[in-house]
Structure 1
Amino acid sequence: MRTENQKVTLPILEEKKVSLFVKREDRIHPLISGNKYRKLKYNTKKAKIEQHDTLLTFGGAFSNHIAATACAASENGLRSVGIIRGEELTYKWQDNPTLVMAAEMGMELKFVSRNDYRKKHTEHCLARLKSEFGRFYLLPEGGTNPLAVKGCEEILTGEDEVFDIICSCVGTGGTRAGIINTAGPKQRVLGFPALKGDFLKEDIRKFATKGNWNLEMDYHFGGYAKVSATLINFINDFKNITKIPLDPIYTGKMLFGLIDMVKKDRFLPGTKILAVHTGGLQGISGMNITLKKKHLPLIEL
């Protein structure tokens, strides 16, 4: 499935003679947007081939993966179970837009302590989950596995060969690896991590088949789900000018970083850049609840 590449017109891009396009993967599906659609495509097919009737996965309170898995299961006639980090959510999850949507799609939510969550992939934990929920098809947190990477290898198409630089956000590394594997021999792939730490490089190397990439580590804004007024104002301004909505966890940080790199002359004049929009817009409502409590600007919907 192809998605359009939308040209971004900003004064700084014209000044530096750099062209930027955004691949609108956020429009690939009304609810299963961007890389989550790609990651789930072959996993749901395999689950049905193996005659599983349940998808089970893990995620945090505002997880795009949890929301997408619930929707994918519903559309494919499968049951879904979400193991959610934070047992304090047991009695207040109805205030969480992501979890409400997942529940409305039929997902059964199980809230566990952070300590138990860290043990989620141990044999003891999985055996206990099988005892409670029966046989299930296991999807890892974030959805990254070989079949997810296979799906993400379909993001780039032949028309994208004209670009010099391909950019993506980085969470668990699966989307990034898929893009690396299909990028052309003369293309460079830049990743913008949402988390702090070099461990992501090893995660990407597990699935990437080429060395045509590097990570830009200066734009995580303090780590996963960390935001600032500067970032929120950028997201709102970018949407008002380009009509492209961004999420504050992934795509907002990527585009902020890209524009900052353009300002600092990190790209030669004439460079053509493609930034992959990985979706995640469903999380904005939940993030605005947090921003309001912190007396920070809200993201315009």
Structure 2
Amino acid sequence: MPDDALPLSRLRPALPSPLEPVEDERFARYSVTLLLKRDDLIHPELPGNKWRKLAPNLRAAAGRTVLTFGGAYSNHLRATAAAGRLLGFPTVGVVRGDELAHRPLNPSLARCAADGMRLHFVDRAAYRAKASPEVLDGLLSLFGECLVLPEGGSNALAAQGCAELGRELRGPAGTVAVACGTGGTLAGLAAGLGPGQRALGIPVLRGGFLGDAVRALQQEAFGGPAGRWSLDDRFHFGGYARTTPRLHAFADDFEDRHGLPVERLYVAKLLYGLTVLAAEGAFAPGSTVTAVVTGRPGAPHDAPSDSR
């Protein structure tokens, strides 16, 4: 099947996504302009970095079965399953954990199954070794020839897809910030930005491993370091899927101020971190900060399932 046999354009993604100014005194008092890059509006079932990461991989799959990995609440599995239903290609989700423990299926896995994804459960030891030749060979012997996507969908093609996000935001010097799970979006964003711009990643997991992941992705996708980027790991609020009353209060307040539904596990942490950084003087007076809104409440998002 030729590379263009999967007509992604028929999904009608809203690209480039809107860029909206936000009047917020927590930035204005420091003479900083806040913009929101509304990637959450790209597609109702493949919003934000899900579209940007999956689209180039789906073109490479050219209609073949796509096999990928996730935990019981993986939004990456949900987005992959939705893409399979919408575009008519088979999907397989390798799920961490014993099958009996997940029956009946939770709403996330039930949505995957309803979208036609074959769910294959493996124990935690096999899941940890999911990138090993032994485990991969066993999966391919079960399901035949597949395009294999890593957990979270972050690979070289995904990073290249996210570079388009940076290109859409090229302009005067400024900071573009994004919440990070597996590092693919930040790796591509930084590569696509223009001279004088920098990308800032706000990790939503504890552990301090993302720097190595971003560098490895850039090496694989672009042949080496690409663009200026940094990480600030102070705003994970305890780790992936962890929130606090303070974070919810902040998100509620932001929604009231600006009428934007704020997704809690990624976007709220990003916006909270930026308000703290503005108060700390991290952004020069007269500068612009762009926050990438990668998802919305209840929509698929980039969920690193092993962190649950």
Contact kept in structure 2, 1:119 and 1:125, CA below 8 Å: yes
Larger mean Cα displacement after TM superposition, 13-22 or 154-163 = 154-163
Larger mean Cα displacement after TM superposition, 114-123 or 186-195 = 114-123
Q: What are the ranges of 5 or more consecutive residues in structure 2 without an aligned counterpart? A: 1-14, 219-224, 304-308
Rounded Cα–Cα distance in structure 2 between residues aligned with 1:155 and 1:214: 17
Q: Residue 72 of structure 1 corresponds to which residue in structure 2?
A: 83
Percent of counterpart pairs with the same letter?
Answer: 39
C-alpha displacement at 1:73, in angstroms?
Answer: 1.4
Q: Residue 186 of structure 1 corresponds to which residue in structure 2?
A: 196
Tell me, yes or no, if structure 1 residue 207 matches structure 2 residue 217: yes
Q: Residue 6 of structure 1 corresponds to which residue in structure 2?
A: 20
Do the aligned partners of residues 228 and 12 (structure 1) sit closer, same or farther apart at CA in structure 2, a change above 3 Å counting?
A: same
Cα deviation 1:130-161 (Å, max 9, x = unaligned): 22222211011010111111111111345541
Tell me, yes or no, if structure 1 residue 273 matches structure 2 residue 283: no
Q: Residue 175 of structure 1 corresponds to which residue in structure 2?
A: 185
Q: Residue 3 of structure 2 corresponds to which residue in structure 1?
A: none
Tell me, yes or no, if structure 1 residue 27 matches structure 2 residue 41: yes
C-alpha displacement at 1:89, in angstroms?
Answer: 4.1
Rounded Cα–Cα distance in structure 2 between residues aligned with 1:210 and 1:57: 27
Letter paired with 1:78: F
**Which residue of 150, 155, 161 corresponds with 2:165?**
155
Tell me, yes or no, if structure 1 residue 198 matches structure 2 residue 208: yes
Rounded Cα–Cα distance in structure 2 between residues aligned with 1:280 and 1:86: 27
Tell me, yes or no, if structure 1 residue 111 matches structure 2 residue 127: no
Letter paired with 2:137: A
Tell me, yes or no, if structure 1 residue 92 matches structure 2 residue 104: yes
Rounded Cα–Cα distance in structure 2 between residues aligned with 1:274 and 1:102: 33
Rounded Cα–Cα distance in structure 2 between residues aligned with 1:257 and 1:134: 45
Do the aligned partners of residues 73 and 132 (structure 1) sit closer, same or farther apart at CA in structure 2, a change above 3 Å counting?
A: same
Aligned residues: 280
Rounded Cα–Cα distance in structure 1 between residues aligned with 2:117 and 2:248: 31
**Which residue of 31, 46, 68 corresponds with 1:57?**
68
What SS is found at the alignment partner of 1:109? strand
Q: What are the ranges of 5 or more consecutive residues in structure 1 without an aligned counterpart? A: 288-301
C-alpha displacement at 1:236, in angstroms?
Answer: 1.9
Larger mean Cα displacement after TM superposition, 16-25 or 114-123 = 114-123
Letter paired with 1:274: T
Contact kept in structure 2, 1:152 and 1:175, CA below 8 Å: yes
Rounded Cα–Cα distance in structure 1 between residues aligned with 2:87 and 2:66: 11
Rounded Cα–Cα distance in structure 2 between residues aligned with 1:280 and 1:18: 25
C-alpha displacement at 1:283, in angstroms?
Answer: 5.6
C-alpha displacement at 1:77, in angstroms?
Answer: 1.2
Contact kept in structure 2, 1:90 and 1:111, CA below 8 Å: no
Give the TM-score of the pair, scaled to structure 1. 0.87
Q: CA RMSD in A?
A: 1.9
Contact kept in structure 1, 2:176 and 2:291, CA below 8 Å: yes
What SS is found at the alignment partner of 2:253? helix
Rounded Cα–Cα distance in structure 1 between residues aligned with 2:18 and 2:172: 14
Do the aligned partners of residues 210 and 89 (structure 1) sit closer, same or farther apart at CA in structure 2, a change above 3 Å counting?
A: same
